[in-house]
Structure 1
Amino acid sequence: MTKRTESTDVVADAADTERPSRRRWLREHSELGVSALLLVLGVLVLTDAITMDVDLTQRGPVGPRTVPIVVGAGLLVIAALLAVDVLRGGRGEAEAGEDVDLSEPADWRTVLLLAGVFLGAAVLIEPLGFPVAGALLFWGAAFALGSRRFDRDPLIAAVLSVVAYAVFNNLLGVPLPGGPLMGVL
């Protein structure tokens, strides 16, 4: 019976030493996650490009499939090169000017505020139009990121939104929903 307990202890000790080493290996090779993401994205882009409905009466060598195929193939090549580099011991290094303290917890309040502002703008863009929804988006993002200048921020947000609407709608020819201000701008 003592022998059985000793062998069980040996197996348990081996499992305990294997878990931290596996976790350490995953932590040291976390860039493989980025490589996997690029691989999935490349396959998705190539699949969409290949299955794209295209008018075959086009003229010239470059068609609507060319750019997506080049981008998808590039994503696959980059995913493979990144995976090889990481498995050979390469690591991405933080920028010298980066001041992120990784020991601090994430600021979920800011993340949730920004997500709420973005979703609110997405919901309001159709009934209120881009100028109003964009102004709320810019102002809400400034507030979520810490600006508390209630005298200045709404004015800047409104100007940015109206200018962006005018540039896209009038200069670039990209129609945006105008909402109640459609006739004014």
Structure 2
Amino acid sequence: MTTRTDSSPAPDPVPAPATERRSWLRDRSELGVCVLLLALGALVLTDALTMDVDITQRGPVGPKTVPIVVGIGLLVIAALLAVDVLRGGRGEAEGGEDIDLSEPADWRTVLLLSGIFLGAAVLIEPAGFPVAGALLFWGAAFALGSRRLDRDPLIAAVLSLFTYVVFDKLLGVPLPGGPLMGVL
């Protein structure tokens, strides 16, 4: 057994492979977007290729064409982005961003918005789109900091009714009307 007699500092420990891997992944975090685009492209292509469509088709473009093109486009974009990231390319922060990354996330607002969204999704069928949409718009305004109780519910109701009329009556996209079905 040998003992150290000199007073020089001990050499720095070699970083663990897990630490190096985390650092490498942190420096190339855009690869997560690549994985997401790759998975989404594979899902769209799989769904498009297994789509059951009527054999009779009018014209050269059938119902599978657009999903196949979108799926292939997603795969190509994922591959090009991965190559760029692995070659050292990085996304730049926008000049107008006013987010302070040193501040913690506002989980209260995120949870409020999530609850309001889920509540609207549950209420849309029994209460109808105008009621659920008004609650969604008003709740989102409240969660994001607006406390104008004299104005916000009115704006939410008008916006929700306007959206319902445009989609259901003008565009022909059926939305559940709920109790207002016979009135509008």
TM-score (norm 1): 0.91
More helix by share: 1
Matched, 1:165 2:164: yes
Report the AA paired with residue 73 of structure 2.
Answer: G
Residues 104-123 of structure 1 mapped to structure 2, 5 A cutoff: 104-123=103-122
The alpha carbon displacement at 1:184 in A equals 1.2
Residues 44-55 of structure 1 mapped to structure 2, 5 A cutoff: 44-55=43-54
Report the AA paired with residue 59 of structure 1.
Answer: R
Report the AA paired with residue 13 of structure 2.
Answer: D
Secondary structure, aligned partner of 1:124: helix
Residues 69-84 of structure 1 mapped to structure 2, 5 A cutoff: 69-84=68-83
The alpha carbon displacement at 1:18 in A equals 3.5
Q: Deviations over 1:153-178 (max 9, x none)?
A: 00000000000000011100011111
2: CA distance, partners of 1:104 / 1:20: 24
2: CA distance, partners of 1:155 / 1:95: 35
The alpha carbon displacement at 1:19 in A equals 3.6
The alpha carbon displacement at 1:2 in A equals 6.0
What does residue 90 of structure 1 align with? 89
Q: Between Structure 1 and Structure 2, how many residues are aligned?
A: 178
Query: Identity over aligned residues, as a percent?
Result: 80
What does residue 130 of structure 2 align with? 131
What runs of 5+ residues in structure 2 fail to find an aligned partner? Answer: 4-9
The alpha carbon displacement at 1:83 in A equals 0.2
What does residue 65 of structure 2 align with? 66
Change (3 A) 1:2 1:41: farther
2: CA distance, partners of 1:131 / 1:50: 37
Q: Deviations over 1:86-109 (max 9, x none)?
A: 000000011000111111111000
2: CA distance, partners of 1:42 / 1:169: 31
2: CA distance, partners of 1:138 / 1:17: 50
2: CA distance, partners of 1:89 / 1:148: 46
2: CA distance, partners of 1:17 / 1:37: 28
TM-score (norm 2): 0.92
2: CA distance, partners of 1:154 / 1:76: 44
What does residue 6 of structure 1 align with? none
Q: Deviations over 1:128-157 (max 9, x none)?
A: 111111000000000000000000000000
The alpha carbon displacement at 1:17 in A equals 4.6
2: CA distance, partners of 1:163 / 1:2: 84
Matched, 1:13 2:47: no
Matched, 1:140 2:115: no
What runs of 5+ residues in structure 1 fail to find an aligned partner? Answer: 4-8
Secondary structure, aligned partner of 1:13: coil
2: CA distance, partners of 1:23 / 1:125: 43
1: CA distance, partners of 2:129 / 2:56: 38
Report the AA paired with residue 172 of structure 1.
Answer: L
